[in-house]
């Protein structure tokens, strides 16, 4: 399969703007089209990521954005894979291009998020694990993040200072990102004053919920080769949207128990490891090839898990890698040069797309004060609840 090329990238700044999510998506889509020097009528396919909290238009995001941009008979897809929705939308667009069904595809994700904890959809639904974990156990998203964080402390000796160091690093990175919601450099003293939400995590360790939108214009390699702006082209070398392999014995949201390892051989890799592995296999690249990574820092501690999952270091060594400065801007492989979720907050269907916008910006050398010098290969990764993997490798 030939690689698909990113011709355009655009965003609506993250924040708590309180407007209809379609407004943000259209801003991002038009920005991506303008960046590509193309118009909506050049788009042969529109792939969008769904939002669950904005009524029916959010469930049919593809047609919602097609109508908002002006009906042109464009074929659409609407994907939901929780936090991985954006990656599934990118994959859907890529498949259409690779199948020869269109030359140019537009990918859009946008959200208007509620304040505070994410809750399940309303109603009484004891058959829904997402409802059960809230009703029976009061197990919020931060509950799971805190369990993972405490596990790092118990298993590998991570400390609250390590988690704070992730926050400090990412908050510095985000200062240079005009699309970030929070542009403030945190100090250790300020973090220590933040209230504990779920021990050991403080409010500032946990990502907020945000409004925002991101969009990409993708094209076939043949189409891209005919254009004059080839020095700005970024190639999608791999997209991984794998699900877990049975038995998945790591406690994942929203489940209240893992699979049992009785009666089946355990998979070769953990689920999170397997997300990156599938992308590396497809790209023919490995962790040593990375110039930068955008990882899903739902919590500061989770960023450390990802270092190991994407192979930047061995299990249990993420804290040492962080302390070495390797993952800060100027280090060997900067992680979350965008500022990450720490500076953005989570706009669910837009987030995986926003990660690829950052890869694109970095690989083009257009990231300004947060530019990773000489960036050649970037990886973005995240995980959506209910077993959705999401990983993209982009190269220039």
Partner 1 sequence: MKPRRPVVEGYFEERADGSVVLVGGRCDACGAYFFPKRFSFCRNPGCGAPGLADVELSTRGVLWSFTDNRYAPPPPYPAAEPFEPYGVGAVTLEAEQMVVLGQLARGTDVSALRAGQLMELCAEDLYETDDAVFRVWKWRTA
Q: Which is nearer to partner 1, 256 or 314 (CB)?
A: 256
| Residue 133 vs 235, nearer CB to partner 1 | 133
Distance CA 208, CA 340 (A): 11
* Rounded Cα gap, residues 72 and 92, in angstroms: 20
The least CB distance from residue 271 to partner 1, in Å, is 14
Taking the complex as a whole, the smallest distance from the CB of residue 254 to partner 1 amounts, in Å, to 10
Helices 300-309 and 141-156, interaxial angle, to 10°? 60
- Residue in 129, 343, 89 with CA at minimum distance from that of residue 214: 89
Q: Which of 8, 13, 15, 142 binds partner 1 (CB under 8 A)?
A: 142
Does position 133 bind partner 1 by CB under 8 A?
Answer: yes
CA distances from 30 to 216, 339, 344 (A): 10, 24, 21
Which residues face 83 on adjacent strands? 81
Interface with partner 1, residue 1, by CB under 8 A: no
By three-state DSSP, how is residue 239 classified?
A: strand
| Under rule CB under 8 A, residue 257 binds partner 1 | yes
Q: How far is the CB of 367 from partner 1 (least distance, A)?
A: 36
Q: Which of 61, 92, 140, 362 binds partner 1 (CB under 8 A)?
A: 140
By CB under 8 A, name the one of 17, 249, 317, 376 that touches partner 1. Answer: 249
The pair phi, psi for residue 121, each rounded to 5°, is: -65, 150
Q: Residue 157 interacts with partner 1 (CB under 8 A)?
A: no
As a whole number of angstroms, the distance between CA 314 and CA 301 comes to: 16
Q: Rounded to an integer, what distance in angstroms lies between the CA atom of residue 329 and that of residue 338? A: 10
Pairing of strands 45-49, 104-111: parallel
If one asks whether residue 135 binds partner 1 (CB under 8 A), the answer comes out as yes
| Residues between 65 and 124 that touch partner 1 (CB under 8 A) | 116-120, 122, 124
Output the smallest distance, CB 236 to partner 1, in A.
30
**Footprint of partner 1 on this chain (CB under 8 A)?**
116-120, 122, 124, 126-127, 131-140, 142-143, 146-151, 154-155, 195-201, 246-247, 249, 251, 256-264
């Amino acid at each position: 399969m030939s690689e698909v090329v990113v011709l355009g990238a655009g965003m609506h700044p993250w924040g708590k703007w309180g407007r209809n999510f379609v407004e943000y998506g259209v801003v991002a889509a038009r920005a991506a089209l303008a960046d590509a020097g193309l118009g909506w009528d050049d788009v042969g396919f529109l792939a969008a990521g769904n939002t669950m909290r904005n009524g029916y238009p959010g469930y049919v995001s593809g047609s919602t954005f097609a109508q908002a941009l002006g009906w042109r008979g464009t074929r659409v897809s609407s994907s939901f894979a929780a936090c991985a929705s954006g990656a599934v939308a990118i994959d859907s667009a890529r498949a259409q291009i690779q199948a020869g069904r269109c030359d140019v595809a537009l990918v859009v994700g946008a959200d208007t998020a509620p304040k505070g904890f994410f809750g399940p959809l309303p109603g009484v639904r004891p058959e829904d694990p997402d409802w059960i974990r809230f009703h029976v156990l009061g197990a919020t998203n931060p509950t799971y993040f805190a369990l993972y964080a405490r596990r790092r402390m118990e298993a590998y000796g991570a400390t609250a200072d390590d988690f704070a160091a992730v926050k400090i690093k990412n908050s510095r990175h985000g200062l240079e990102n005009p699309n970030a919601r929070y542009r403030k450099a945190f100090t250790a003293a300020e973090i220590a004053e933040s209230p504990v939400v779920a021990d050991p995590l403080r409010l500032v360790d946990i990502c907020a919920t945000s409004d925002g939108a991101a969009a990409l214009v993708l094209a076939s390699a043949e189409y891209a080769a005919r254009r004059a702006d080839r020095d700005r082209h970024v190639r999608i070398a791999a997209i991984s949207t794998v699900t877990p392999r049975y038995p998945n014995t790591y406690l994942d949201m929203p489940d209240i128990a893992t699979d049992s390892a009785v009666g089946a051989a355990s998979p070769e890799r953990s689920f999170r490891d397997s997300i990156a592995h599938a992308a590396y296999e497809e790209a023919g690249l490995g962790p040593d090839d990375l110039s930068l990574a955008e990882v899903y820092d739902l919590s500061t501690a989770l960023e450390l898990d990802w270092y190991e999952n994407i192979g930047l270091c061995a299990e249990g060594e993420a804290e040492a890698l962080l302390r070495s400065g390797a993952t800060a801007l100027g280090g060997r492989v900067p992680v979350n040069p965008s500022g990450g979720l720490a500076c953005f907050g989570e706009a669910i269907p837009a987030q995986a797309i926003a990660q690829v916008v950052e890869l694109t910006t970095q690989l083009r050398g257009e990231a300004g004060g947060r530019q990773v010098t000489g960036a050649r290969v970037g990886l973005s990764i995240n995980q959506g609840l209910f077993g959705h993997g999401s990983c993209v490798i982009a190269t220039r």
